Amino acid sequence: MIKKVNALGLTCPLPVIETKKALEEIEKGTVEVLVDNEIAVQNLSKMADQLKMDHSFTKEEENVYKVEIIKGEGIEKEPAPVFEAISCAPAGKKVVVISDKNMGVGDEALGKVLMKGFIFALTQLDKVPDTIIFYNSGAFISIEGSESIEDLKKLEEAGTEILTCGTCLNHYGIAEKLAVGSVTNMYVIAETMMNAGSIVKP
Amino acid sequence: MREKEIVFCKGGGCTAKLGAGVLGKILDKLPRQKDENLLIGFEGSDDAAVYKLADNLAIVQTLDFFPPMVDDPYTFGQIAAANALSDIYAMGGDVKTALNIVCFPESYDMNILGKILQGGAEKVAEAGGVLCGGHSINDDGVKYGLSVTGVIDPNKIRPNDKCQKGDVLILTKPLGVGLVCSAARVNMCHEKTMAEAVKSMTFLNKYAAKIADEFDIHACTDVTGFGLLGHLSEMTKGSFTAVIDSKNVPYIKNARKFADEFLYTAAAQKNRNFVGDKVKFYIDDFAMEEILFDPQTSGGLLFAVSEKDALNMLEKIKTLGMPCGIIGKIEEKEDFEIKVI
């Protein structure tokens, strides 16, 4: 399989980043990159060396260089020990903790849009989170009228446990309106967070 | 907002410098005028020119300007000014006057330029200098910097190439700002990391230069576009070998991560091409190599100081709050000008 990347007109590090993406997208095969300067060729070669992939380049014409990087064939098959070390992703559950109805500090309207976008983005991930916990004003996201209900239902279907803090629902007087997932208490929240492999807090 | 995106961050700062290799070729061909009062000119590829006016008085002149490397115009102004002023401090001088150098597209919001100039003016004031004018050009892209004049006692000039065997090398700021800015350009840099880089880039070298007055300094340069190794090779100048202890080199922690993510800049590669064959790496650590070649915008001062003074001086430099360190020493010349262990 040959994948082509046209990086003409791009300045470093963009050609390298685009090429890295292309390499990640193929299981094995060749990535052909066009760049317009020799320095970019050298930077691509450095990356290929670091990834222990075979590479070569040809000067096609003035200011056009073609770099070929081969992934997975006819070259050193043994992965460098570094790569094994990298595979130690945290074990245990991935828990998303949402403590505010807005994402980030700043303009409220923006924060709301960002939070909606974040939850939608979660639905698009290859692996959805194991648990999402809502507390304090985060509780407004899992109740009727919230723009994220559809996305949260999708996540629930995909296997995400959705928990909302009961004390918080009561405090804001919205306990009746919970639209997705179940009510939880501080004991469960604390335990889930303590046992999590990683906690993501937008 | 949109305008800002167009204006800023095409890969600015010292990454925009022309490569040392290309530059050397044409500079060598320029006619050299003789003037016995010109104490430092082209010859030593030094940071600034020094011209003697009287036995105890010389002027130090420098200029530096570049495209933005950060999104915020005010911060950019501060960084560009701190960077330009730095050359005076590298020579050991005091800043007296500064002139703005401005390229700015007329079609852009002039308030952006206002912010840039404000940032620059504040740094000139902090330096103890007076801003007294400037020149502006309507241009496609934004560029800003300063022409700076300082004064110095000709007997107290700090050349960049008079290091001695046994000297200890002290670096006063962390490396890696080039990698950080490169990561920010492609939205891979956390705000906190960018803030570390900005803190370093806006910090005047005035304070470290002042501390150095108390010690026996043999050579000094500021680390900018040619990276630590590029500027270090100007210091050893083929007469000595510098041994760099990579464990003690201060750098912005996430710069290593960005090097591992292959955020290679063109300027770092140019530096590698220019100075790489003078360097022998005894470490198997490619990310560290990239950090050592990383072009710095408004980088720290690199001092060659007598061994007896090194620890005391480092203790005082540390009080400035910048990551800094004793990064190596000057030894007798060997096969390579720079050894990295």
Q: How confident is the model at residue B173 (pLDDT cuts 50, 70, 90)?
A: very high
Do the chains contact at A39 and B270, CB–CB below 8 Å? yes
Q: Is B141 on the interface with A (CB under 8 A)?
A: no
- pTM of the predicted structure, to 2 decimals: 0.69
- Number of structural domains in chain B: 2
Q: How confident is the model at residue A124 (pLDDT cuts 50, 70, 90)?
A: confident
Six-digit token string for B257: 């991560």
Average pLDDT value for chain A = 85
Range(s) of chain A covered by CATH 3.40.1260.10: 93-200
Minimum CA–CA partner of B186 in chain A: A14
Q: What mean pLDDT comes out for the span B8-31? A: 66
Q: What mean pLDDT comes out for the span B241-269? A: 92
Type of residue at B155: N
Q: Which residues have a Cβ under 8 Å from the Cβ of A163 and sit 6 or more positions away?
A: A131, A132, A133, A134, A181, A182, A183, A184, A188, A189, A192
Q: Do residues B222 and B102 both lie within one domain?
A: no
**What is the CATH classification number for the domain harbouring B260?**
3.90.650.10
Q: Is the pLDDT of residue A83 over 50?
A: no
Q: Do residues B182 and B122 both lie within one domain?
A: no
Q: Is the pLDDT of residue B285 over 50?
A: yes
Q: Do residues B129 and B232 both lie within one domain?
A: no
Please tell me the predicted confidence (pLDDT) of residue B100.
96
Closest CB from B262, B272, B273 relative to A13? B262
Contacts of B266 in chain A (CB under 8 A): 11-12, 37, 39-40, 43
Q: Is the pLDDT of residue B43 over 70?
A: no
Q: Do residues B253 and B110 both lie within one domain?
A: no
Of B156, B187, B210, the residue at which a domain comes to its end is: B156
Q: What mean pLDDT comes out for the span A33-55? A: 90
Do the chains contact at B263 and A17, CB–CB below 8 Å? yes
Average pLDDT value for chain B = 89
Q: What mean pLDDT comes out for the span A78-105? A: 69
> Can you name the residues that pair with A2 across neighbouring β-strands?
A30
Where is B52: in which H helix or E strand?
strand B49-54
Q: What mean pLDDT comes out for the span A58-83? A: 70
% chain B with pLDDT above 70: 92
Instruction: Please say whether the dihedral angle defined by the alpha carbons of residues B27, B28, B34 and B36, taken in this order, is positive or negative.
Output: positive
Domain that holds residue B301: 168-340
Side-chain half-sphere CA neighbours of B37 within 13 A: 10
> Is the distance from CB of B206 to CB of B123 less than 8 angstroms?
no
Q: Do residues B201 and B336 both lie within one domain?
A: yes
Do the chains contact at A16 and B262, CB–CB below 8 Å? yes
C-alpha distances (whole Å) from A92 to each of A131, A199, B112 are 11, 10, 48
Type of residue at B51: Y
Specify the CATH architecture of the domain A2-84. Answer: 2-Layer Sandwich (3.30)
Q: What mean pLDDT comes out for the span B150-166? A: 91
Q: Is the pLDDT of residue B4 over 50?
A: no
Do the chains contact at A13 and B273, CB–CB below 8 Å? no
Q: Do residues B172 and B151 both lie within one domain?
A: no
Q: How confident is the model at residue A61 (pLDDT cuts 50, 70, 90)?
A: confident
Q: How confident is the model at residue A197 (pLDDT cuts 50, 70, 90)?
A: confident
Q: How confident is the model at residue B47 (pLDDT cuts 50, 70, 90)?
A: low
In B92-205, alpha helices (H): 110-127, 177-185, 191-202
Contacts of A14 in chain B (CB under 8 A): 186
> Can you name the residues that pair with A198 across neighbouring β-strands?
A94
Please tell me the predicted confidence (pLDDT) of residue B21.
66
Closest CB from A13, A47, A50 relative to B186? A13
**Among B143, B110, B145, B104, which Cα is nearest to B124's?**
B145
B203 within some domain:
yes
Side-chain half-sphere CA neighbours of B298 within 13 A: 32
Q: Is B263 on the interface with A (CB under 8 A)?
A: yes
Closest CB from B182, B186, B286 relative to A50? B286
> Is the distance from CB of B64 to CB of B145 less than 8 angstroms?
yes
Please tell me the predicted confidence (pLDDT) of residue B56.
94
Please tell me the predicted confidence (pLDDT) of residue B188.
85
Q: Is the pLDDT of residue B156 over 60?
A: yes
Type of residue at B95: V
Minimum CA–CA partner of B287 in chain A: A50
Please tell me the predicted confidence (pLDDT) of residue A41.
92
pLDDT digits over B301-319, tens only?
999 999 999 999 999 999 9
CATH number for the region A93-200 comes to: 3.40.1260.10
Q: Do residues B173 and B100 both lie within one domain?
A: no
**What is the CATH classification number for the domain harbouring B11?**
3.30.1330.10
Q: Is the pLDDT of residue B15 over 60?
A: no
Q: Which residues have a Cβ under 8 Å from the Cβ of B28 and sit 6 or more positions away?
A: none
Q: What mean pLDDT comes out for the span B180-204? A: 91
Six-digit token string for A16: 């390298």
Identify the DSSP state of B15.
Answer: G
Minimum CA–CA partner of B181 in chain A: A13
pLDDT digits over B102-126, tens only?
999 988 989 999 999 999 999 999 9
Q: Do residues B273 and B247 both lie within one domain?
A: yes
Lowest mean pLDDT among B35-44, B220-229, B267-276: B35-44
Do the chains contact at B266 and A20, CB–CB below 8 Å? no
Q: How confident is the model at residue A87 (pLDDT cuts 50, 70, 90)?
A: very low
Q: What mean pLDDT comes out for the span A48-73? A: 88
Q: Is the pLDDT of residue A72 over 50?
A: yes
Q: Do residues B41 and B172 both lie within one domain?
A: no
Closest CB from B10, B264, B286 relative to A13? B264
Where is B102: in which H helix or E strand?
strand B94-104
For every residue of chain A, DSSP letters joined together read -EEEEE-TTPPTTHHHHHHHHHHHH-SSEEEEEEESSHHHHHHHHHHHHHTT-EEEEEEEETTEEEEEEEESSSS--SPPHHHHHHT-PPPSEEEEEE-SSSSSSS-HHHHHHHHHHHHHHHHHSSS--SEEEE-GGGGGGSBTT-TTHHHHHHHHHTT-EEEEEHHHHHHTT-GGGB-SSEEE-HHHHHHHHHHEEEEE--
Range(s) of chain A covered by CATH 3.30.110.40: 2-84
Q: Is B265 on the interface with A (CB under 8 A)?
A: yes
Contacts of B265 in chain A (CB under 8 A): 12-13
Please tell me the predicted confidence (pLDDT) of residue B48.
82
Q: Do residues B172 and B256 both lie within one domain?
A: yes
Q: What mean pLDDT comes out for the span A173-189? A: 88
Six-digit token string for A167: 């004390």
Q: Do residues B194 and B115 both lie within one domain?
A: no
B162 within some domain:
no
B163 within some domain:
no
Contacts of B186 in chain A (CB under 8 A): 13-14, 17
> Is the distance from CB of B66 to CB of B146 less than 8 angstroms?
no
A68-72, B3-7, B11-15, B132-136: which has the highest mean pLDDT?
Answer: B132-136
Do the chains contact at A39 and B266, CB–CB below 8 Å? yes
Minimum CA–CA partner of B270 in chain A: A39
Q: From the candidates B14, B163, B181, B189, which is the catalytic residue? A: B14
Q: Is B154 on the interface with A (CB under 8 A)?
A: no
Catalytic: B324?
no
Distance of alpha carbon B118 from alpha carbon B96, whole angstroms: 18
Do the chains contact at A50 and B265, CB–CB below 8 Å? no
Please tell me the predicted confidence (pLDDT) of residue B328.
95
